[in-house]
Amino acid sequence: MFERNYVTKILLSIQLGVFVMIAFPLMGNAQETDALSLNVAIEQAIINDDWLTASQYRESALREEAIYAGQLPDPRMMVSMMNLPINTLSFDQEPMTQFKVGVTQSFPRGDSLALTQQQKIEQSEVNPFLRDERIAAVTLRVTRLWLDTYLAQESINLINNDRSLFEQLVEITDSRYRNAAGAARQQDVVRAEVELTRLDDRLTTLQQKLENSRQQLAQWIPYELVLHEISSELPEFELPDTAIPDLSSAADAFSEHPQVKVLDKQIDASETGVELAKQSYKPGFSVGASYGYRDNGPMGIQRDDFVSLDVSFDLPLFTEKRQRPRVEAANYQTSAIKTERILVFKNLFASYQQAMALLSVLEDREALFNKTLLAQIAELTESTLAAYTSDEGDFEEVMRAYIAELNAKIEVLGIEIERRKILAQINYLLTNSAN
C-alpha cells in the first residue's frame, strides 16, 4: 500500500509535468509576498486532491488482484470413512470399509487464468490516465475560480480608484450650488450623492461575489491561502498551435487526450474479456488422487490398501444459450466502449469549435475597447465635465459619462478574464496525457 508521503511525492512529480502536458505557459507570474498566484493555487489543488490518492490505491488494489487472479485454485483435501457398518461400527468387519484421504486440483478452462490476470492489469492501467484527466480538470476548474476571484477583486479596485472622482464631482456640484454658480441645481447635488451611494452598493455586491469565489476556491486549496489577496498580475495563456479544421482531424488532435486514453485502455480490457468469454467453450479439468486404508480382517486376513486416481472435466455441449450469449455480451460491451470513444471525439471537437468561435469574438471586442472605445469614452467624460463647469452642459450628461467610463473599464476587464477562461478550456481540450 502507498504511504501518504509517498503518494504526495508522486503527485508532486505529476504536477511538475502537468503544465507542459496541458500547455499552460503562464507568463509573468506574480511574486508578491502573501499574494495567491494561479500557479500556486493549481499546485496546491493538485497536491491536496484526495481523489488522486484514492486512484493510486485503486490501481494498487487491481494490481494485487491480478497477482492472485492468475493462480490456480487451492487444492481440495478430502478425508472420509467409507462403508462403515452401522450395526457394529467395526472398522475390520467388512472388507470394503476403509479410511480414505484424497486431494483434488482444479484447472480452469483454457487460458482463463492468464486472460483474467491480463484483464486485471489492463483495468489497473486505466487509473494513470484517469489521474491525468483529473489533474487537467482540476487545473481548469481552479483556473476559472481564480480568474473569477481576480475579476471581483480588480473590479472592486477599479471602483475604489474611481470613487474619488465621484466624490470630487459631488464636491464640485455642491460648491457650485452653494455659491449659486452657473446652472447648478439642488437636484444635481442630490443626483451626485445618489450615484455615490449606488457606487457603494455596487461595491457591496462585488464584495459578496469576491467572498463567494473565495469560498468555492477553498474547496480545492487550503483555506489559509484563500484568505490572501489574489495576485494583481494577470497571467497570460498562449493559444496552442494545433489547428483542427474538421472532424477528421480530431482523431489526431485528441488521440492523446486522457479521456480518449482511458477508453483505449477500457477497450483493451474489454477485448480481453471477449477472449475470456470464449474460453467457456473449452472444458475445465479436475485431477484427483486418494489413498484408502483398510484394516485386517477378524481372522487376521490381510487386506490391501487402495489408491485411486480420477480426472473429471466439463462437457460444453449446450452452447446455444450458455456460452454463445456470454461471448456475444462481451462483444457488445466492447462495441459500446468503441462507440463511446467516437462520441468523446465528437464532444471534444464540438467544444473546441465553440471555444474557438467565442475566443474570436472576445478578441475582437477586446481590441475594439482597447484601441477605440476606452479612449472615446474618456474623451467624452472630459468634454462633458468641461462643458458643465463652463455652464454649457447638463449635469446628467456628466454623470452618465462618468458611469459609462467606469462600466467600460470593468467590462474590458471582464472580457480579458473571459478570454483567458476560453484559452484555459482550449488548452484543457488539447491536453496530452503524460503517461
Q: Which residues contact 293 (CB under 8 A, 6 or more apart)?
A: 98, 99, 100, 101, 305
- Cell 480382517 sits at which residue? 297
Q: Hey, what amino acid is at 350? A: A
Q: What is the DSSP letter of 94?
A: S
Mean pLDDT of 135-143: 96
Q: Is the pLDDT of residue 7 over 80?
A: no
Q: Is the pLDDT of residue 105 over 60?
A: yes
Q: Hey, what amino acid is at 354? A: Q
d(CA 49, CA 27): 25
Per residue, what are the HEC states of 364-413? HHHHHHHHHHHHHHHHHHHHHHHHHHCCCCCHHHHHHHHHHHHHHHHHHH
Q: What grid cell was written down for 347?
A: 464532444
- Cell 456470454 sits at which residue? 326
Does residue 358 lie within any of the structural domains?
yes
Residue 78 parent element (H or E) = strand 76-82
**318 with 138: CB under 8 angstroms?**
no
Distances in Å between the Cα of 351 and the Cα atoms of 145, 156, 263 are 20, 32, 19
Q: Is the pLDDT of residue 5 over 60?
A: no
Enclosing domain of residue 264: 4-429
pLDDT reported for residue 287: 96
pLDDT reported for residue 296: 84
Residue 104 parent element (H or E) = strand 98-107
Does residue 434 lie within any of the structural domains?
no
Does residue 435 lie within any of the structural domains?
no
Q: Which pLDDT tens digit goes with each residue over 205-257?
A: 999 999 999 999 999 999 889 888 898 888 888 888 878 888 888 888 899 99
Q: Which pLDDT tens digit goes with each residue over 26-81?
A: 433 434 457 899 999 999 999 999 999 999 999 999 999 999 999 999 999 999 99
Q: Is the pLDDT of residue 6 over 60?
A: no
Q: What is the CATH number of the domain that holds 382?
A: 1.20.1600.10
Does residue 344 lie within any of the structural domains?
yes
pLDDT reported for residue 25: 40
Does residue 301 lie within any of the structural domains?
yes
Residues paired with 291 in a beta bridge:
101, 307
Does residue 295 lie within any of the structural domains?
yes
- Kindly provide the b/e burial profile for residues 106-145, where b requires at least 16 CB atoms within 10 angstroms of the residue's own CB: eebbbebbbbbbbbbbbbbbbbbbbbbbbbbebbbbbbbb
Does residue 417 lie within any of the structural domains?
yes
Q: How does the average pLDDT of the chain come out, rounded? A: 85
Residue-by-residue DSSP string for 273-314: HHHHHHGGGSPPEEEEEEEEE-PPPTT------EEEEEEEE-
The total number of residues written for the chain in this structure: 435
d(CA 234, CA 230): 10
Instruction: Kindly give the pairing relationship between strand 306-313 and strand 285-293.
Output: antiparallel
More confident residue, 394 or 52: 52
d(CA 254, CA 259): 9
Q: Which pLDDT tens digit goes with each residue over 322-378?
A: 889 999 999 999 999 999 999 999 999 999 999 999 999 999 999 999 999 999 988
More confident residue, 115 or 177: 115
Distances in Å between the Cα of 154 and the Cα atoms of 82, 330, 414 are 91, 56, 10
Q: Which residues contact 295 (CB under 8 A, 6 or more apart)?
A: 91, 92, 97, 303
Q: What grid cell was written down for 277?
A: 468469454
Q: What grid cell was written down for 223?
A: 483555506
Distances in Å between the Cα of 432 and the Cα atoms of 7, 16, 56, 133, 136 are 22, 14, 20, 9, 10
- What predicted TM-score, i.e. pTM, was given to this entire model? 0.82
Does residue 72 lie within any of the structural domains?
yes
Mean pLDDT of 86-103: 87
Number of domains comprising the chain: 1
